[in-house]
Structure 1
Amino acid sequence: MIYGPTLLFALGEGAVIPLIPVIANRLGADVAVAALVAAALVVGQLCGNIPAGWAVARFGERLTMGVAGIVVLAGLTGIVFAQSLAFFAAAVFLIGFCAASFALARHSFMTTRVPLTFRARALSLLGGTFRLGMFVGPFISAALLAVFGDETASIVFFAVCQVATILLVFFGPDPEKAVPVGAGARRADGDSREAEDTGEPVTGSIPTVERAGVFRTMWRFRGVLARLGLAAASLSAVRSARQVVLPLWGVSLGLDAGTIAVVVGVSGAIDFALFYASGQVMDRFGRLWAALPAMILMGAGFFALSFTHDLGSAAMWYAMFAAVLGVGNGLSSGILLTLGADIAPPNEPAAFLGSWRTLTDAGGAVAPLIVSALTAVASLSVGVGAMGAVAVLGAVGFIRWVPRYVPRTR
């Protein structure tokens, strides 16, 4: 009941994502417009975080996820019957908008109920569950295309996953009732984040999100969002850049599609293999011991890769640094979820997490635009090197702000 809905949604979404540019092209989009339509999914999730925070705070995780699942079915119907590019893009946006509700509802649930002592492992497993679905989904889609020869089969598969999710959420055991609130709300001694942000000592109960409201919560925690939140956004940007840079770099080297797919696939497999190790490190040694190595590895990988384009062994360096980026990304699994849970208001975190996830998703959405712009103005090597600089700045931010805002577990 805790991880199942996330896995089902990720499987369906992973099966459909590769087909979005294909369907857009069939509706008349060129390559640039097809990429823009595909980005509507990310934009929808970015726009959906704050409304999802309000909905979870007001109606609870279960109802929010169930209603979002029903709306996703409407979006999938729109994809199947879309006759215009604008209508298709709107349906893709709607699915992304609802995806934010699934992600935030589970994040909020884990924040209020998982004890601090193994919070990072639980959230790394949540992130790993999503990665598993996104990793396996495209293979399911490829198999369905081979059997039926039509993209509609993959969309129907997503719809079946959504129906199963809705049934599970509405008719399965309710984890909100089975697991008491408060286990995840305990703070370490000496955590003064609340006092620093509000200027008032915290005595008695903390105001609930329903009374404070989403935007008042954002203003109340503006300090931590502007500091640690920006460092987290830089991590999200570096992660997102990796997904764009690796295929582009292979194309710029003149490698064939099969070789690029193998390199990207191996990098993704390394990434997936390390998701639980990240949680172990964070719970045993602290959040910084996972965040800092991840940022340093990815920053060094981008910097080094940017100098190898014209070398005689460029393909070898490409494969090696793709593996390095996979290790760095794997070590960062669950960090954004865990840091968000650590600094959220302990009793009613949903509104804060909506703001937190908006920041991190914005970082991920901006990174491909930065790479694209710098590549157009200068070169791909300059764009890749710039993402290395973003990683270094993010590492400095984590060094400065994690010890200040994140409660110690030991």
Structure 2
Amino acid sequence: MSNSTRALLLRMAPSIYGPTVLFTLGQSALMPLIPVIAVEMGANIGLSGVIASALVVGQLAGNLPAGWVVSRAGERIAMLIATGVAALGALGIALAPNPGALGLAVFVVGFAAATFGLARHSFMTTRVPVAFRARALSLIGGSHRLGRFAGPFLAAGILAITGAPAAPVWAFVACLVLTAALVLFAPDPERVLPVQRPAEEPEPRTAGIRAAVRHSRAPLVRVGGAAAVLSGLRTTKDVLLPLWGVSIGMDAAGIALVVGIAGTVDFALFYTSGQVMDRFGRLWAALPATIGMAVAFLALAFTHDLPGAATWLVVCAVVIGIGNGLSSGIVLTLGADLAPPGDPASFLAAWRTLVDFGGATAPLAVSAIATVSLPLAAASVGVLAVLGAAGFARWVPRYIPRARPRG
């Protein structure tokens, strides 16, 4: 990485990473309380899980339109559009009269988040040199983790003051306003940072998402399938841990605190992931992450009826946080590694759609299983994590040479 590019990245860091921190902070203050709000509206445990899962369903549905918006409007405009749509979704959550309307509003927030995330991913893929790619993208992952770390604590504080589970909605709206202001008035990174051209002859430019899928079908399906499992573990964690807390009798503030503790551990490890990936290879971050989460979910399945169930929840949440922290930026990095230089946005739209499909379907399946048995749902997630680890071990070294240690 050249000194000039490094200096520009450092100088533009607030513009690059600040919007992600703010957007995720507000979202993470709100989302752990969605199951609680749904239960207060009369939803059962299973339905409240489905409503919370509407966030990742919205992200899945929004990825392909996001690719179109980012390609034509540019990153900055796309992020402003996403922020406005997310604000409408937040207002819908605040005013929802029933669980159905609540689920729709959560879906809208997820739809907007897809455009926000794709805009930043495409920008980093085209403007960060490969030698620094994992660390730069792990900082994007770290920006998400900072928001997820601080968001639940923000929610816990608001709840302690107001006692109203819906109060964090307004914290999300305030964060969206600040996000829009930063995107509008801070220097535009797209105009400052140069596009990185590969040393070798670039691949032919593909024409849209279908062509991108045809061109890179095998790595997209195989490596993307393992990444989709990891995405499913992450979104399932966000649904299962609050449901587990509700099931063992914890109050809303306690649940937010547990999620916040796990986020603290998660956040502490985010840059370590990028260093490991750039120095030793992508696999050295992917495997420990998925194996660690597999162990935690399988252990959690046996603790529901123990006298110290709340303590076991904290312990397993911390282990899950360690695994998630070690995987910071891995999905973004693998997608950037596989994206054709000529047209990364189209490939990344397909990549994120596949990954978010895993993120959307896994918690829905877990919520369905939870209506029968919550411990069985946790055990199922543990088995899924084992399958994800096997997929990374098989396909990452084959399709991404950077996955092998540099000798």
TM range (shorter): 0.7 to 0.9
Aligned residue for 1:224?
Answer: 219
CA displacement at 1:72 relative to structure 2: 2.5
Aligned residue for 2:384?
Answer: 390
Distance across 2 between alignment mates of 1:137 and 1:346: 36
Which of 395, 399, 403 is the matching residue for 2:397? 403
Partner amino acid for 2:380? A
CA displacement at 1:367 relative to structure 2: 2.2
Tell me whether 1:363 sits opposite 2:372 in the alignment: no
Which of 41, 45, 48 is the matching residue for 2:59? 45
Whichever of the two has the greater Rg, that structure is 1
Tell me if the contact between 2:152 and 2:259 (Cα under 8 Å) persists in the aligned partners: no
Distance across 2 between alignment mates of 1:310 and 1:27: 27
Aligned to 1:17, the other structure's residue is in SS state helix
Alignment of 1:144-293 (within 5 A): 144-147=158-161, 154-182=168-196, 185=198, 206-208=204-206, 212-247=207-242, 254=248, 256-257=250-251, 264-293=259-288
Tell me whether 1:36 sits opposite 2:50 in the alignment: yes
Tell me if the contact between 2:149 and 2:260 (Cα under 8 Å) persists in the aligned partners: no
Alignment of 1:42-191 (within 5 A): 42-83=56-97, 86-147=100-161, 154-182=168-196, 185=198
CA displacement at 1:113 relative to structure 2: 0.7
Change (3 A) 1:373 1:93: closer
Offset from partner CA, 1:205-233 (integer Å, 9 cap, x none): 5215xxx1123322332211211111111
CA displacement at 1:98 relative to structure 2: 0.7
CA RMSD of aligned residues (A): 3.1
Change (3 A) 1:298 1:128: same
Tell me if the contact between 2:50 and 2:364 (Cα under 8 Å) persists in the aligned partners: no
Distance across 1 between alignment mates of 2:259 and 2:178: 31
Identity of aligned residues (%): 57
Tell me if the contact between 1:40 and 1:93 (Cα under 8 Å) persists in the aligned partners: yes
Q: Which runs of 5+ in 1 are unaligned?
A: 188-202
Q: Which runs of 5+ in 2 are unaligned?
A: 1-14
TM-score scaled by structure 2? 0.83
Which of 17, 32, 50 is the matching residue for 2:31? 17
Aligned to 1:408, the other structure's residue is in SS state helix
CA displacement at 1:3 relative to structure 2: 0.4
Tell me whether 1:332 sits opposite 2:327 in the alignment: yes
Tell me if the contact between 1:342 and 1:407 (Cα under 8 Å) persists in the aligned partners: no
CA displacement at 1:13 relative to structure 2: 1.4
Change (3 A) 1:135 1:382: same
Change (3 A) 1:81 1:237: closer
CA displacement at 1:309 relative to structure 2: 6.1
CA displacement at 1:384 relative to structure 2: 2.9
Partner amino acid for 2:151? G
Number of aligned positions between the proteins: 389
Aligned to 1:270, the other structure's residue is in SS state helix
Tell me if the contact between 1:119 and 1:283 (Cα under 8 Å) persists in the aligned partners: yes
Distance across 1 between alignment mates of 2:84 and 2:242: 35
Partner amino acid for 1:286? G
Which of 293, 296, 299 is the matching residue for 1:298? 293
Change (3 A) 1:35 1:116: same
Distance across 2 between alignment mates of 1:250 and 1:19: 11
Aligned residue for 1:197?
Answer: none
Aligned residue for 1:196?
Answer: none
TM-score scaled by structure 1? 0.83
Change (3 A) 1:260 1:55: closer
CA displacement at 1:52 relative to structure 2: 0.6
Change (3 A) 1:32 1:127: same
Query: Is 50-59 or 383-392 further displaced after alignment?
Result: 383-392
Change (3 A) 1:382 1:342: same
Tell me whether 1:352 sits opposite 2:366 in the alignment: no
Partner amino acid for 1:178? V
Tell me if the contact between 1:112 and 1:348 (Cα under 8 Å) persists in the aligned partners: no
Aligned residue for 1:194?
Answer: none
Offset from partner CA, 1:111-157 (integer Å, 9 cap, x none): 11111111111111111111211222233234345555666754343
